[in-house]
């Protein structure tokens, strides 16, 4: 296990930019250009240890190991699905755990990243927030998840192509660290993944959505809507009690105007709760106010919660009703169900011996 006393006092290399790393190296009496060499080893050559950086002297590698840690976590569980999905449970030096997932399709290899340890939103139907929020993940801890997922993609014979912030936590509630991680993932000197291949999923924080619109990054934005009206949404999502659908519409419209990127609406179908024809009609009226598409997810039941998974027939009926009303909608396929791959499942099972959650995303584009 990673030693808390030794590792927590070190700088996390994956937190650092070329400028901040060069400045730290200069303080050590080393030339600034060493920073570029080190980052090339990590991001271009996938070095996980100082010993792999063979163009650095042994003495320098020893000094760097005393001051920096490259990978701060340990993998406490790796689960591989029959469909190729791989989920990792990571434990950080303070004992906190988080999850990341590598999701393969025929055309993409996607990393699903967590932004927090636990979740503060507390959606009534979701496993992720049942144990509340422990803390935010740092920039480097978010990047570390992406790097682990990239290793899994490479091991499967392909490169990591997409990033989704759809794991544990509300990304826009950890705004600064999430945006810093996006910039490193996107940077030529970092992971080099295009901004249009990166999606941030949010329950809807209007102020942060507008701030994101002005970042000048061509990110994809996914809004976890889950209900077509305020009353039902407030019953399902506690945070919606202070944020109306109209406010979200206005904020998302600003995002589209500033970026030109269509919004994706995430809508988890809960049997007998939000999946009627009347709900489909309400949802279609909401969609007409935005440039957006709709991803439908069939709910996977959580043992301690009352919500049920709709039948395939009911889900397709809802889909066809939306399409008949002119909505661009799709049903998102669940992945990794045999390995607890949905949000919070592996962590919760590790903590409490349970398996529950909602469907894992499959990303297009």
**CB-based contacts of 216: which residues, under 8 Å, 6+ apart?**
none
C-alpha closest to that of 166 among 264, 76, 242, 291: 264
Return the percentage of the chain with pLDDT > 70, whole number: 90
Q: What is the pTM of this model?
A: 0.90
Domain boundaries defined on the chain: 4-69, 74-352
Task: Calculate helix-pair angle for 139-155, 175-186, nearest 10 degrees.
Answer: 40
Active site includes 119? no
pLDDT band at 337 (very low <50, low <70, confident <90, very high): low
Instruction: Look at residues 300, 282, 309 and name the one whose alpha carbon lies nearest to residue 339.
Output: 300
**One fold for both 4-69 and 74-352?**
no
Angle at 237 (CA atoms; ends 231, 242), nearest 5 degrees: 70
The CATH architecture annotation of domain 4-69 reads: Orthogonal Bundle (1.10)
Phi, psi of 239 (to 5 degrees): -65, -20
Structure tokens at 228: 């077509």
CATH of domain 74-352: 3.20.20.70
Q: What share of the chain is helix, strand, coil (3-state, %, to 5)?
A: 40, 20, 40
pLDDT digits (tens, 9 = 90+) for 1-60: 444 446 678 999 999 999 999 999 999 999 999 999 999 999 999 999 999 999 999 999
Structure tokens at 64: 């760097």
Quick check: 161 and 197 in contact, CB under 8 A? yes
365 vs 101, residue with greater confidence? 101
Do 278 and 242 form a contact (C-beta atoms < 8 A)?
no
3-state secondary structure of 278: helix
The per-residue DSSP string of 293-308 comes to EEEEEEPPP-TTS---
Indicate the burial class of 241 (C-beta count within 10 angstroms; 0-12, 13-18, 19 or more).
Answer: exposed
Q: Find the catalytic residue in 27, 277, 343, 350.
A: 343
Q: Catalytic pick from 7, 99, 144, 170?
A: 99
- Report d(CA 63, CA 60) in Å as an integer: 5
62 is catalytic: no
pLDDT digits (tens, 9 = 90+) for 78-117: 999 888 999 999 999 999 999 999 999 889 999 999 999 9
């Amino acid at each position: 296990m990673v030693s808390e006393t030794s590792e927590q006092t070190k700088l996390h290399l994956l937190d650092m930019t070329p400028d901040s790393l060069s400045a730290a190296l200069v303080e050590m009496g080393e030339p600034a250009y060493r920073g570029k060499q080190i980052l090339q080893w990590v991001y271009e050559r996938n070095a996980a240890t100082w010993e792999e950086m063979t163009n650095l002297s042994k003495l320098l590698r020893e000094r760097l190991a005393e001051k920096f840690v490259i990978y701060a976590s340990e993998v406490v569980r790796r689960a591989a699905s029959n469909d190729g999905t791989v989920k990792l449970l990571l434990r950080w030096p303070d004992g906190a755990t988080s999850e990341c997932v590598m999701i393969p399709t025929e055309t993409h290899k996607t990393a699903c990243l967590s932004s927090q340890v636990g979740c503060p939103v507390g959606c009534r139907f979701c496993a992720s927030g049942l144990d509340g929020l422990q803390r935010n993940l740092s920039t480097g801890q978010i990047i570390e998840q992406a790097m682990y997922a990239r290793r899994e993609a490479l091991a499967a014979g392909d490169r990591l192509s997409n990033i989704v912030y759809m794991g544990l936590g509300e990304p826009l509630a950890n705004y600064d660290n999430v945006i810093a991680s996006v910039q490193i993932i996107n940077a030529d000197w970092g992971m080099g993944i295009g901004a249009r291949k990166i999606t941030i999923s949010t329950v809807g924080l209007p102020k942060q959505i507008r701030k994101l619109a002005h970042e000048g990054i061509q990110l994809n934005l996914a809004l976890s809507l889950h209900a077509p009206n305020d009353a039902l949404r407030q019953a399902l999502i506690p945070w919606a009690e202070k944020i109306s659908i109209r406010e979200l519409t206005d904020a998302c419209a600003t995002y589209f105007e500033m970026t030109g990127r269509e919004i994706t609406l995430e809508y988890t179908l809960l049997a007998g709760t939000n999946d009627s024809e009347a709900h489909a009609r309400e949802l279609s009226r909401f969609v007409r106010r935005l440039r957006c598409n709709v991803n439908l997810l069939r709910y996977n039941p959580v043992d301690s919660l009352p919500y049920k998974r709709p039948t395939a027939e009911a889900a397709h009926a809802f889909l066809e009703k939306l399409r008949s009303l002119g909505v661009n909608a799709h049903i998102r396929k669940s992945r990794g169900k045999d390995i607890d791959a949905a949000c919070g499942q592996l962590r919760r099972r590790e903590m409490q011996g349970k398996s529950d959650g909602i469907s894992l995303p499959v990303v297009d584009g």
